Amino acid sequence: MLRAGTFLALLLAALICGCSQVASLTPVGEHPRKISPDDWNGTWLNKEQTVRIRVADPQRGVLQVAWVEEKGGALVPESHQLELWAAGTWTFGNFKTKEAAAPYLWALVQNDHGQIIIWTPDQASFRKLVETGVLPGSVTKGGDVILQKLSGEQLQTMMSPAHSQCFHWQTPLVFIRLGK
């Protein structure tokens, strides 16, 4: 993976890189996930970066995420919003960007008692699901997969054991909470 230049590489693990992406025209999920500041607020660490997370809107599942990056030999603060959407027991982190083929990049997210685990979508698997008509969307000439709005049934299909290869389960991005 190329060196991270934005929040996505830190929190959505390889969504912005030289490789193809899985993006969406709308946030992935059925509705915004209601969240608690007690579960999300704090300083979080993974092997590459420390980030600060604050719940910006608990009813709409909006997180404000900030960190410091080195750009041109200077330390520069960065801050972005992440929308958490629910589909059954699943939570999807959606990041609005202008750098992708569609407005939203996303990943599967789990907050497990002081540990945030993030699984990115597997482009090849989603490409097959779109090309076979299982999920609505398209594939760009560059190989990016662009999903249209997914129904509850399509989300269940995507998360079913039959399509378990759709995410990078073996290589999650893990953040551990250092403190609130």
Beta-carbon count within 10 A of 160 CB: 10
Give the residue carrying structure tokens 């997969």: 145
Q: Which pTM value belongs to this model? A: 0.87
**Which parts of the chain have pLDDT scores under 70?**
1-20, 100-101
Domain ranges of the chain: 7-179
Could you write out the three-class secondary structure of 11-54?
Answer: HCCCCCCCCCCEEECCCCCCEECCCCHHHHCEEEECCCCEEEEE
Burial category of 52 from C-beta neighbours within 10 Å (exposed 0-12, middle 13-18, buried 19 and up)? middle
Given a contact cutoff of 8 angstroms between Cβ atoms, the answer to whether 169 and 161 are in contact is no
Q: What mean pLDDT value characterizes the chain?
A: 87
